[in-house]
């Protein structure tokens, strides 16, 4: 009788493991779909159309900066964005790479 109980016990274990397989496959499939959706709906980079062809070219978002009346010795700060709108890479080869000029 003990052999019979062991046989039934083993068959139940096999059946339980067999019943878990579809659940595991469904979870794996759902995970793959979530990962695919994540990559599909990410923001795609916009295509770049150069304004200048054959060479690099800089373009600033502000052409002119007016800071008003600034007292001597007073520190002021301004920021702007500079982009390369040409179709060639822009390389700074000599120091100073960027020079700030003061003017009235």
User: Which one is predicted more confidently, 75 or 46?
Assistant: 75
Tell me if the pTM is above 0.85. no
pLDDT at 27: 92
pLDDT at 73: 87
Q: What are phi and psi of 10, to 5 degrees?
A: -65, -40
pLDDT at 41: 82
* Residue 1: strand, helix, or coil: coil
Q: 33 pLDDT exceeds 90?
A: yes
Asked if 83 and 46 count as a contact pair (C-beta separation under 8 A), the reply is: no
């Amino acid at each position: 009788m003990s052999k019979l109980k062991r046989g039934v016990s083993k068959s139940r274990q096999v059946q339980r493991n067999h019943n878990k397989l579809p659940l595991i496959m469904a979870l794996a499939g759902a995970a793959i779909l979530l990962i695919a959706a994540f990559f599909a709906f990410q923001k795609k980079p916009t295509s770049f159309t150069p304004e200048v062809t054959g060479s690099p070219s800089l373009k600033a978002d502000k052409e002119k900066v007016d800071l008003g009346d600034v007292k001597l010795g007073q520190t002021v700060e301004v920021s702007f964005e500079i982009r390369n709108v040409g179709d060639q890479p822009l390389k700074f080869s000599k120091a100073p790479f960027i020079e700030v000029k003061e003017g009235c």
